[in-house]
Structure 1
Amino acid sequence: MTVRTDTLWEQFLKPIVGSFIDGEEINDLQTSIDWETESDRIANPNLEYPDYYRSQNFHGIQGGYLTSSAAVTYDPITRYFVPPHETWVREDAIKQIKGNPQRILDLGCGTGSTTVLLQETFPNAEVIGLDLSPYMLIMAERKAKEKQLPIRWYHGKAEETGLDGDTFDLVTASLLFHETPVEISKAILRESFRLLKGGGEFLLLDGNQDTLRDSEWLTNIFEEPYIQDYAKGNVESWLETTGFVATETEIVWGIHQVNWGRKPQPVAKSSPVTVEENDDIPYGVAPA
């Protein structure tokens, strides 16, 4: 894989962003971590990286998210490219949660920004963050430890987690669907449906699909290989097709989109009705 040098990001924006980021601080962070040892500790040795993930560069970084450079630069860069303020956007998404979940799974959690906010919002809940990159999970774990939050981190695929079904009250995903092929996004919805208890909630934060349909230049700027296919779709329709009910789409700050849906409660099976013999009541005739 090679980094495209013709993107607007490489030619114009990367140097500008670099002026806002403390490169020395990032370098100090990167050199302070034994990435090989830490990734071996976190990584699932049986996990095979899907081709859609390992064969692509994301955001102009060679090797995509399977690199330490992606892990240490993600937060400093994202704070400038999730306007108007990354934390506000993530907090506004969390406000769409209806219930008081006791077991939460954050899929594609990256460096744990939303995962941490979920644990802070629901301090009594068991919160799990799952991501395909052990490098991103290293940063997420550090972030949670700094705040002394008991979040658990799993290395795995959002579309095939291997976790037990019908065990979560809430499954979330932030800024994930625009970075996966549409068929994988739909598979993630099916997996989320399987993981949720009856009545459980699914919450997605991502870009506003209506806005992104007219923004093909974003692919050129940020080297987002799947964003246009995401933009052409309709998450609410995908949710309904998966089986979610009472689905909602909320536009946040004009350019972000929050999708919500609930897994239906299982239909209670009726107990078989038995008729006891009674010589005084003719069969088929109700007593007065």
Structure 2
Amino acid sequence: MSKHMSANEKAYIAALRYQWLTPMYDRVVKYSTREHTTKHALLDMVKIEAGEHVLDVGCGTGTLALMAKTAQPYALVFGIDADKHILDIAQQKVRRQRFHVQFSQSWADKLNFAPNTFDCVVSSLFFHHLQWQEKLAVATEIMRVLKPGGRFGIADWGEPSSLVMRYLFKPVQWLDGYSNTQENLDGKLKLMLEITGFQSIETVKHFNTIFGTLSLHLAYKPFNS
């Protein structure tokens, strides 16, 4: 549910649109998006190395950030999300698993990090929540905090691989919005990366799920930025 705020504040939509559904988020994502397979594929794609600084944008309950830390214990992993309630779940996971992952509440288009901080930024199932200008603003901010030559990996809904996949995606559009999700279906995430200055943009893999086609994209910040 969109939070109603003053004119000087932003609004966000909870992970499953309604705040009361937040505790079910992990179970829904696990069984509807082939989460284990797609997130491992995302981490295999970006190849995090020891000592690197890694940021998960729109980290939700922290699953991907914790998987990144597990895959490379000597990386410094951070996660940001605007939703305090979902970050509470992420913090509980950190305490249970005894990993050092730093989560903080932040808007993705105003990251609380200095320029050229991160070697790698990842994001899973976040960009389809954003309208076009918001997508561009967040990608621009990610470009700012990446080091020259840094890489950006996205796992999100993409162009459907078949008519069946297109129809299976309709519940996602009902839940998360039509115009913003349609941009993903139209393949505009690659256009977003091009417009904001990323290079060597590649769609690495596609995964069919019970709610449509998930795509993995990889892009790099130019060395001369």
In structure 2, the residue matched to 1:266 is 224
In structure 2, the residue matched to 1:109 is 59
Alpha carbons 1:208, 1:251 under 8 Å: kept: no
Which runs of no fewer than 5 residues in structure 1 stay unpaired? 3-47, 62-66, 268-288
Equivalent of 1:92 in 41, 45, 52: 41
In structure 2, the residue matched to 1:223 is 175
Aligned residue-pair number: 210
Q: Show CA shifts across 1:192-220 (max 9, x none).
A: 10000111111100012244993462346
Question: Could you say if the C-alpha distance between residues 60 and 262 of structure 1 is closer, same or farther in structure 2, counting changes exceeding 3 Å?
Answer: closer
Amino acid at match of 1:264: P
Partner Cα distance (2:107, 2:159) in 1: 24
- Greater share of strand: 2
Partner Cα distance (1:212, 1:131) in 2: 32
SS at match of 2:201: strand
Q: TM-score, normalised by structure 1?
A: 0.67
Partner Cα distance (2:175, 2:106) in 1: 24
Alpha carbons 1:137, 1:155 under 8 Å: kept: yes
Q: TM-score, normalised by structure 2?
A: 0.84
1:19-58 residue pairs with structure 2 within 5 A?
49-51=9-11, 53=12, 56=13
In structure 2, the residue matched to 1:37 is none
**Displacement after TM superposition at 1:58 (Å):** 6.0
Question: Could you say if the C-alpha distance between residues 253 and 122 of structure 1 is closer, same or farther in structure 2, counting changes exceeding 3 Å?
Answer: same
Residue identity over aligned pairs, in percent, reads 24
Question: Could you say if the C-alpha distance between residues 71 and 219 of structure 1 is closer, same or farther in structure 2, counting changes exceeding 3 Å?
Answer: closer
**Displacement after TM superposition at 1:129 (Å):** 0.5
**Displacement after TM superposition at 1:237 (Å):** 2.1
**Range moving further from structure 2, 240-249 or 99-108:** 99-108
In structure 1, the residue matched to 2:5 is none
Alpha carbons 1:209, 1:234 under 8 Å: kept: no
In structure 2, the residue matched to 1:80 is 31
In structure 2, the residue matched to 1:244 is 198
